[in-house]
Amino acid sequence: MVSGNISSLLSFVGLAEWHVPTAGMFLWVKIKGLHDVRKLIEEKAFKKEIFMLPGYHFYLDSSAPCPYFRASFSLASPEQMDMAFQGLAQLIKESL
For every residue of 51-79, DSSP letters joined together read --EEGGGGSSSTTS---EEEEE-SS--HH
Residue 21 within any structural domain of the chain: yes
Closest CA to 15 of 83, 69, 80: 69
Residue 80 within any structural domain of the chain: yes
**Number of structural domains in the chain:** 1
How much is the pLDDT for 24?
80
Domain range enclosing 21: 6-94
Taking the C-alpha atoms of residue 86 and residue 75, their distance in angstroms, rounded to an integer, is 18
Task: For the chain, 96 residues long, give each residue's pLDDT as a single digit of tens.
Answer: 455 555 556 655 688 888 777 888 888 999 999 999 999 999 999 999 998 999 999 999 999 999 999 988 778 787 888 888 888 888 998 988
Residue 1 within any structural domain of the chain: no
How much is the pLDDT for 67?
97
pTM for this model (two decimals): 0.81
Residue 17 within any structural domain of the chain: yes
How much is the pLDDT for 56?
96
CATH number at residue 47: 3.90.1150.10
Residue 53 within any structural domain of the chain: yes
How much is the pLDDT for 6?
59
Closest CA to 37 of 58, 21, 19: 58
